[in-house]
Amino acid sequence: MGQSVNSKSVSMTMIPAGDRSLTIRLIGRLDAFSTGSIWREAVDGVKARGWEDVVVEADGLDYIDGTGIGLLVQLRTIQTERGNRIDIKGLRPEFKRLLDMFDPSFFTNIPPENTEKKRFLEKIGYASAELFSDMKSLVSFVGEIFSALSFALKKPSQVRWKDVYLVSEKAGIDALPIIILIGFLMGLIMSFQSALTLERFGAELFVANLLGLSMFRELGPLMTSILFASRSGSAFAAEIGTMKVNDELKAISTMGINPVSFLAVPRVIAALSMTPLLTLFFIFSSLIGGAVVMLSMGYPLTAYISRVFSSLNISDFLGGMLKAVIFSIFVAGIACHRGLMTGTGASAVGESTTSAVVSGIILIAVVDGVFAVIYYCLGI
């Protein structure tokens, strides 16, 4: 006797023939709504005995979607793993073409997951290899960016200037409030803390020298670049990463357009033009914060301004602006690189954004250390 399973859309009858052969007769629609009702019975029926031959009579099926094909693939996989035969008869040509797209050997030869824990040295080796590969990819991308920028200098008409202006507005003008606020607070806090220490020696006026020199040479470009990486660099990575997940980058490449020139170059140019200006606003707002502290301590504004600029020279200003320019290139470049390297999945864009911010800040610190050594050797 055969075993029958009925649902609203599909009917399944399993008819054993002795101990070696099993016939499964399917009638109706094998779709996402009906397949679930017969899946367990069909799989358990095939697994129950080591059937040498399984015949699926599918001539009574009016419709099959991906879920129904999945059931047939599962039955074929079970028989293939056991070295037994399965014959699917009467399947309409359009459904057979869909079924033939899936090779059962692909599902039977899946390597077992390696659950063995890696040793400490193995973890270091894997991390080092991954870091080396990432650095290699980053160096290659930086070279591609500089090549694209040199081409843009030769042929400015090829640059998408509307995008440059739009990115400059979002990354520059829209960032002014946070830049001015953080700069003012940093100048205020640094001046107040320094004044408390220098007050013991009656040298509170030298707070102006300390603040001016540190902001122009070091903290101004450094803090502005970190804020740029956190605010705009993350946006660059998220925008390009979303395009990568949605396969828009493939569409751009299919049209013969280089994604680096199309997406990265306008953002790098915008960062290159906006970061030095943001650095100036950060420095001047920090000096205003310092002026508030000095005025509260009874020092005139003219004395504060004269002390600030008497301790500075043109090399301090140009050195800070050079840092801002180089930082902006690296921050925008690595943000675009992380966006272009975005993987697949719901968390891919978030991971790229986080990686862009963290990598950008680390790279800023490393480059700043290189600048410190170079300036020391040059006596600047």
Q: Is residue 113 part of a domain?
A: no
What does the pLDDT look like over 311-349, one tens digit per residue? Answer: 888 888 898 999 999 999 889 988 988 888 888 776 888
**Vertex 360 angle, CA 314 and 143, to 5°:** 85
Q: Are residues 83 and 174 in the same domain?
A: no
Residue 118 placed within a domain: no
Please name the residue that has the structure tokens 């419709």: 63
- Going by their DSSP bridges, the two strands 53-64 and 85-89 should be labelled as parallel
In total, how many domains does the chain have?
2
Say whether both 172 and 227 belong to one domain.
Answer: yes
Residue 32, SS3 per DSSP: coil
CATH number of the domain enclosing 72: 3.30.750.24
Same-domain status, 181 and 320: yes
pLDDT at 8: 61
Would you say 3 and 41 are in contact if contact means Cβ atoms under 8 Å apart?
A: yes
Q: Which phi and psi angles does 120 have, rounded to 5°?
A: -60, -45
Residue 83 — left, alpha, or beta (φ > 0 → left; ψ -120 to 50 → alpha)? left
* Helix or strand holding residue 47 (H, E): helix 35-48
- Measured CA distances, 102 to 32, 72, 140, 283 (Å): 18, 10, 38, 63
Which tens digits make up the pLDDT trace of 286-311?
A: 999 999 988 888 888 888 888 888 88
Whole-number pLDDT of residue 286: 94
> How many H helices and E strands in the chain?
16, 5
Report pLDDT for 296.
87
Q: What pLDDT score was predicted for residue 200?
A: 80
The C-alpha atoms of residue 265 and residue 248 are separated, in whole angstroms, by: 17
Both 223 and 347 in a single domain? yes
First-to-last C-alpha distance (Å) of the chain:
96
> Same domain, yes or no, for 311 and 203?
yes
Q: Do 177 and 218 reside in the same domain of the chain?
A: yes
| Contact (CB, 8 A) for 325 and 222 | no
| 94 shares its domain with 149 | no
Who contacts 126 (Cβ-Cβ below 8 Å, separation ≥6)? 118
103 part of a folded domain: yes
Last residue of a domain, which of 108, 124, 152? 108
Do 293 and 216 have their domain in common?
Answer: yes
The partner residues of 374 in beta bridges, in order of sequence, read none
68 closest CA partner among 32, 98, 41: 32
The answer to whether residue 114 is domain-embedded is no
In a domain, residue 122? The reply is no
Residue 81 counted as domain residue: yes
Considering the domain architecture, whether residues 87 and 212 belong to the same structural domain is answered as: no
Q: H or E stretch including 322?
A: helix 314-340
The whole-number pLDDT of residue 1 equals: 46
Given this model, what pLDDT does residue 114 score? 59
Q: What percent of the chain shows pLDDT beyond 70?
A: 93
pLDDT in tens, the chain (380 residues): 456 666 567 888 888 877 788 888 888 888 878 887 888 888 888 887 777 788 888 888 888 888 888 888 888 888 777 778 888 888 888 888 888 877 766 655 555 555 566 677 888 888 888 878 877 877 777 777 778 788 878 888 878 888 889 989 988 889 999 999 999 999 999 998 888 888 787 777 888 888 888 899 889 999 999 999 999 999 999 999 888 888 888 888 888 788 888 888 889 999 999 999 999 999 999 999 999 988 888 888 888 888 888 888 888 889 899 999 999 988 998 898 888 888 877 688 888 899 899 988 998 999 999 998 998 888 87
Q: Print the domain residue range for 275.
A: 133-378
pLDDT at 276: 92
User: What backbone torsions phi and psi does residue 247 show, to the nearest 5 degrees?
Assistant: 65, 20
Residue 312 backbone phi and psi in degrees, to 5:
-115, 155
Please give the Cα distance from 303 to 314 (Å, whole number): 20
Residue among 298, 306, 308 at smallest CA distance from 190: 308
The residue type found at 306 is: S
On whether both 363 and 300 belong to a single domain, the answer is yes
Q: Do 96 and 141 lie in a common domain? A: no
Residue 265: per-residue pLDDT: 87
Asked if residue 140 belongs to a domain, the reply is: yes
Q: Is residue 348 part of a domain?
A: yes
Residue 264 shares a structural domain with residue 373: yes
